[in-house]
Amino acid sequence: MTLRTLDSLGSLAGKRVVVRCDLNVPVKDGVITDDGRVRASLPTLNALLEQGARVVVVSHLGRPDGAPEAKYSLEPVAQRLSELLGAPVAFAHDTVGDEATDAVAALEDGQIAVLENLRFNPGETSKDEGERRAFAEKLAAYGDAFVSDGFGVVHRKQASVYDLAELLPSAAGLLIQTELEVLDRLTANPERPYTVVLGGSKVSDKLGVIGHLLPKVNTLLIGGGMLFTFLKAQGHAVGSSLLEEDQLDTVRGYLTKADELGVRIVLPTDIVVASTFGADADTAVTSADSIEETPFGASGLGLDIGPDTAAAFAEIIADSKTVFWNGPMGVFELEPFATGTKAVAQALTEVDGLGVVGGGDSAAAVRALGFTDDQFGHISTGGGASLEFLEGKRLPGLEVLGWS
């Protein structure tokens, strides 16, 4: 694996270093509800501060439409970062305006500032290369070097991810290095048995990774909303459960290919079916081939894997040496439908080998269900980026750093 790392930048003492972090954390009423990505940025930031660099942090949060929106401000993130670093963190209420310019100019060696949400400027995500480049040039004026450490955005060709890396001497931060080392272990020569657990709502989001990983894995466990497209592809009725009719032929193709490769695709044998979508819904546990035979009939919808499936999945995971998990097993946000996801998470903590939580909703789920990061081999900070890596796609934010 070729990648420019921090060492390639030489001494950064007294230098201004723009760091692209991924501080896109959930914020409710001004309070961060999961600071995992903020904590994940600390090793790189501390390494730079300890060198005596003048650190300028840039990030996005949420999806504002190219203009300031108070609910997407990074100010709560800057405050949390200050608490975690145990040091003052300056915050600029703009990204490339007068306040940002003043905040950067005021930095002394070993000090840090956070600029406001990058996506408050339309140039950050623009499809127009000239507009994107112009924004990147304004950001580049704040630095002598650039460190890319937002793994969750390396699959995006955006101003602060791609163009900025071309404009300044650039390198990957420690977080990106760690993410790539783990992903390399999942793809290059994984220790076996190798199990991949896929869930989440849509099978279409996972088709690429299924196709790319089938020749590499021993077992593929399917849960979440996507499981119903698999059940329907096998001829089972699924009631009002989430279903992607247009993917049935593709799924049948993967089931056939798995048989040819000798890969086990394990589908749930039982399902938690609800009368409606809600925490107070009536529920019933039924076999996966009789979803419409509950009291709810064809209006019933599956919202979690059943207890037998949860136990079977947990046993397969615990017996594996390498496990990658992306996507909840059910609607974990609602307590009656969190059991399957919790069982998978618990089993992942018991893997005698490498157990990887693949970012996104999976990372949010394990923390919401009371698990801590250190219980797992690795929790990725980039769900989409991880999946695209595992699909074998080109990631522009890595290629610009010399990755090959």
Locate the domains of the chain by residue range: 6-176, 190-390
In this chain, the answer to whether the domains covering 6-176 and 190-390 adopt an identical fold is yes
First to last CA, the chain: 6
Token pair recorded at residue 292? 């419409």
Token pair recorded at residue 147? 């460190």
* Predicted pLDDT at 1: 58
Binding residues: 22-24, 37, 60-63, 119, 156, 206, 302, 333, 359-362
Binding residues for substrate: 22-24, 37, 60-63, 119, 156
CATH of region 190-390? 3.40.50.1260
Among 172, 163, 118, 104, smallest CA distance to 136 is for 163
Binding residues for ATP: 206, 302, 333, 359-362
Q: Which pTM was predicted?
A: 0.91
Separation CA 71–CA 68 (nearest Å): 9
Residues 6+ apart with CB under 8 A from 88: 82, 111
Separation CA 45–CA 173 (nearest Å): 9
Question: For residue 217, what is the enclosing H or E element?
Answer: none
Binding residues for (2R)-3-phosphoglycerate: 37, 119, 156
Separation CA 136–CA 140 (nearest Å): 6
For residue range 219-254, list pLDDT tens digits in order: 999 999 999 999 999 999 999 999 999 999 999 999
Token pair recorded at residue 205? 């989001």
Q: Which residues are catalytic?
A: 37, 202, 360, 384
CATH of region 6-176? 3.40.50.1260
3-state secondary structure of 398: helix
CB 126 within 8 A of CB 135: yes
Buried b vs exposed e over 292-310: b needs ≥16 C-beta within 10 Å? bbbebeeebbbbbbbeebb
Please list the pLDDT of the chain residue by residue as tens digits (404 residues).
Answer: 589 999 999 999 999 999 999 999 999 888 999 999 999 999 999 999 999 999 999 999 999 999 999 999 999 999 999 999 999 999 999 999 999 999 999 999 999 999 999 999 999 999 999 999 999 999 999 999 999 999 999 999 999 999 999 999 999 999 999 999 999 999 888 999 999 999 998 888 888 889 999 999 999 999 999 999 999 999 999 999 999 999 999 999 999 999 999 999 999 999 999 999 999 999 999 999 999 999 999 999 999 999 999 999 999 999 999 999 999 999 999 999 999 999 999 999 999 999 999 978 899 899 999 999 999 999 999 888 998 998 888 999 999 999 98
